[in-house]
Chains A and B, each alone.
Chain A
Amino acid sequence: MNVVVCVKQIPDPADPGALNPDHTLKRDGKLILDESDSYGVEMALQLVDKAGGGEVTLVSMAPNGEVSGLRTALAMGAAKAILVSDDALAGAGALDTAKVLAAAIGRAEGTDLVLAATESSDGYTGTVPEQIAAVLDLPSITFAKSVEIADGTVKVQRQTEAGYDECESPLPAVVSVTAGVVEPRYPSFKGIMAAKSKPVDTVTVADLGIDAAIVGWAGAGQEIVDVSAAPEREAGEVIEDDGESHLKIVEFLDGLKVL
């Protein structure tokens, strides 16, 4: 059972985000493993474990040869990583990102399953996993809240607006997993030490056989024309609870005639 997990390395969401003059997200500080992706990594490790063999390969796209987030996932137990890093990718949208990740996935051999988070915490388009499946011409099940493998079939509970759908697909397939699908492990000290020497295959767009003209600003097919501050919502009254503040809430609700 060989699983490829797409992971994104993002600026720490706890820090205030900022844009570069070209409207791309500032990514020049230290990048971390997107927490949403830790669920896919954990799921992959568990599936390989249950299958009794195989390995987990990470695939990521990040500027400046960034590996700090990858090291976290390697420390959790992934065997190796493929990193696509290329200046030509600045300004990439969901579609060209999917093309690049699909090509990178192609470098991992004998892949049975591709996992990804449903969406990244910074870009949150929620389309990339399905686009990867389309580029690779694979079946896909998105928004999984549980994943099981049996007899060459992946069984998934897919999140819906009203509940969930029971779905299944033959392998190989692409599955995107929601947060909370499993409890991600913390890397052990031993895992952290081992991660330092695990292989990271860093490649460019050209290495993947992709024309730089179809990625990044050149190929994204979209152009940012304006970035402006949203109208601010004014803060109202803030009071310290003196043991009677619940009455203030009742009074507020009464004023709105909603009770």
Chain B
Amino acid sequence: MALSKVWVHAEVTPDGTVAPISLEILAKAREIADVVEVFTGGDGAAVAETVGAHGATKVLATGDLTGKLQGVHVAAALAAAIEAQGAPDAILAGTTYDGRDIAARLSVKLDKPVLTNNTDIEVGDGIVVSTQIFGGTQIVKTKFAAGGPAIALFRPKSFAAEESGGGAAEVVAIDVPDTGAAGAAKLLNRHVEETTGPKLDEAAIVVSGGRGLGEADKYSMIEELAKLVKGAPGASRAIVDAGWVPYSYQIGQTGKVVKPTVYIAAGISGATQHMVGMKGSKNIIAINKDPEAPIFGIADLGIVGDVHKVLPKLIEALQAR
């Protein structure tokens, strides 16, 4: 059984392209619904071609939201559009910063639950989403029981993006009603952190460091190794909380989800919070001095040893090639 219509959030990155997570969700949306449309908090024409090529037939666009926060304004526009033209069966977005804000505001406006952090969605006897709990060791399936629309957010990389061969989607303007006091927050400036090398969630190799590195200075070994293998450096929550590296490096439940060809975990014990973000990696190499560290339970190659001894030798061996 398929749904008649779903809406998918077309999230736009600072460089103006449609975020990979939106394209991933579009691929799944085509599988479960007859009609797939997207909504975006900004210029519809800028995304129409990309989302059309991924199966969307319409772009519901708020128009320019410069200086405004997405959550409250996009949600207000969607609620008004639903009031005017009826609701889709489901509204899908990524578990991203803006995705969560939009879904949260919308859930209150429509008085419908929002289910977050899903990794799959099935349509049969109702709409059922899957979520991983306890560090990904168990999967919970939850059915929407409050009537439509079902609001669901998905973890990055839950689905594979795939082009449909469709032409540009039709742009339809949706009005943003006055949001009153709730809409009073302003966005003044955007700062994009400069990064070199591949992006963490796109790199074929990710080299991650954790508390086992001992001190902030030692993180340079992670960066050096990442550079040598043309990978991206990542981190566990412990060292992000400790202020060694920025939050954008964090891999795990609270951070990014990565599924590289090779994941190298150095000095990371494997807290469930971390494992959720990397256990989908094709190959995992772990270096940790504690033989009991949970990370060894999922590693393809585990080295019980001191990262301060193993990493310098590994870096030297790779430099010599």
Contact = CB atoms under 8 A, between A and B. Distances in A.
Given A224-B143, A227-B139, 13 more contacts: A13-B272, A121-B273, A126-B117, A137-B182, A162-B192, A165-B187, A165-B191, A166-B189, A180-B241, A221-B145, A223-B145, A249-B264, A250-B318
Contacts of A225: 128, 141-143
A126 to B, nearest CB: 5
B142 A224 contact: yes
Interface stretch (A43-51, A68-76, A128-136, A194-202): A128-136
Given A95-B113, A241-B309, A245-B305, A228 B100 contact: no
A170 B145 contact: no
A245 B303 contact: yes
Contact of B296 (A128, A164, A221, A235): A235
B107 A239 contact: no
Contacts of A141: 69, 185
A85 interface: no
B140 A23 contact: yes
B: contact size bracket: 35 or more
27 contacts: A16-B134, A95-B111, A95-B112, A130-B101, A131-B105, A137-B182, A140-B185, A162-B193, A165-B188, A165-B190, A166-B190, A168-B188, A169-B186, A220-B113, A221-B112, A222-B142, A222-B146, A224-B142, A225-B141, A226-B141, A230-B132, A230-B136, A239-B303, A241-B306, A247-B317, A248-B303, A253-B262
Interface stretch (A105-113, A153-161, A185-193): A153-161
Nearest to A128: B104
A93 B240 CA distance: 29
A246 B310 contact: yes
A121 B117 CA distance: 13
A64 interface: no
B188 A227 contact: no
Nearest to A251: B301
B258 to A, nearest CB: 14
A229 B285 CA distance: 24
A126 B287 CA distance: 32
Contacts, number: 270
B185 A124 contact: no
A163 B105 contact: no
A149 interface: no
A226 B243 CA distance: 39
A139 B184 contact: yes
A167 interface: yes
B301 A142 contact: no
B108 A159 contact: no
Contacts of B62: none
A145 B248 CA distance: 11
B236 interface: no
A145 B139 CA distance: 31
Contacts of B311: 246
A224 B140 contact: yes
